[in-house]
């Protein structure tokens, strides 16, 4: 019963602080950390990453990363302007860098700071594949997922303190049992589904952005087939993962591709760049 009361209290707090509606998702999102705080911290961290790694410039691959990034950013601004959100990106400081690393990774920090690792390029395979990755990563920033994760983490920490206070008169063994139950419950019941939901949102938004930017959204499902092959098909059960399963993601992307094309047609996109 104690855990149920604590989970209920956390839910009530989440509802109270969820006061901002995100234009891309239409959902009210937690914002315990403002962009005025978040963006400068993200920009500083991005600069540190660049200083600590080899940034590739002046190559066809680095030029491609910049080109695709700029097109995705323009697509986002076009969508926002068309839907009544002029100026939404005014605090974004877009930057696109290619980093030499074997990591199969790419990311976009809050505020538009993007990094691609050379290790992901063979899986991207082509510029359209890069656009699928770029759209997905940019979507995380546009949907304020970083802000939400930080806010969720703060709520989870607050709940942990509440558990400690509520069980303060129990034996050390029982206190540890309650904390373990709380940790498992919030991870499996809240944090992981929250993260999977973010990934699914980013897939949808990213697909729309790449289509508006003139890239064929059908390639996104093909990209994830290559991602699955690269991982050897190994993954934890979906309910124990921060990401949807590869098969779920591929099916979802296939289903969303026609909708992304229809959205792109609203912006005058009737054909897509060749996949090469």
For 75, the 3-state DSSP assignment is helix
Residue pair 212/30 in contact (Cβ under 8 Å)? The answer is no
137 is catalytic: yes
User: Quick one: which of 125, 140, 82, 132 has its CA closest to 256?
Assistant: 132
Run of H or E residues at 181: helix 172-186
Q: Is 144 left (phi over 0), alpha (psi -120 to 50) or beta?
A: left
Q: Which of 137, 199, 219, 263 is catalytic?
A: 137
Residue pair 199/207 in contact (Cβ under 8 Å)? The answer is no
CA distances from 155 to 69, 152, 225, 237 (A): 33, 5, 36, 26
User: Alpha helices of 187-245 — where are they, by DSSP H?
Assistant: 192-212, 218-230
For 268, the 3-state DSSP assignment is coil
CA distance 14 to 17: 5
Q: List the structure tokens of 109.
A: 């920090």
For 197, the 3-state DSSP assignment is helix
76: burial class by Cβ within 10 Å (0-12, 13-18, 19+)?
buried
Looking at the annotation, which residues are catalytic?
Answer: 137
């Amino acid at each position: 019963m104690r855990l149920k009361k604590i989970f209920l209290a956390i839910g009530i707090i989440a509802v109270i602080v969820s006061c901002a509606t995100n234009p891309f998702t239409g959902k009210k999102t937690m914002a315990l950390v403002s962009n005025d705080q978040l963006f400068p911290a993200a920009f500083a961290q991005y600069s540190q990453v660049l200083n600590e790694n080899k940034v590739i410039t002046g190559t066809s691959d680095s030029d491609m990363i910049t080109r695709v990034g700029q097109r995705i950013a323009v697509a986002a601004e076009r969508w926002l302007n068309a839907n009544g959100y002029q100026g939404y990106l005014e605090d974004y400081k877009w930057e696109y860098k290619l980093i030499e690393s074997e990591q199969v990774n790419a990311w976009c920090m809050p505020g538009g700071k993007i990094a691609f690792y050379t290790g992901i390029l063979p899986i991207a395979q082509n510029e359209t594949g890069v656009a699928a990755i770029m759209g997905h990563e940019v979507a995380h920033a546009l949907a304020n997922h970083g802000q939400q994760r930080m806010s969720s983490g703060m709520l989870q920490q607050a709940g942990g303190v509440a558990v400690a206070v509520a069980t303060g008169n129990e034996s050390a063994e029982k206190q540890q049992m309650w904390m373990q139950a709380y940790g498992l419950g919030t991870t499996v019941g809240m944090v992981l589904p929250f993260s999977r939901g973010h990934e699914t949102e980013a897939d949808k938004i990213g697909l729309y952005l790449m289509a508006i930017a003139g890239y064929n959204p059908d390639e996104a499902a093909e990209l994830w087939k290559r991602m699955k092959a690269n991982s050897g098909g190994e993954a934890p059960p979906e309910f124990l993962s921060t990401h949807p399963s590869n098969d779920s993601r591929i099916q979802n992307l296939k289903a969303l591709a026609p909708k992304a094309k229809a959205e792109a047609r609203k912006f005058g996109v009737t054909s897509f760049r060749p996949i090469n």
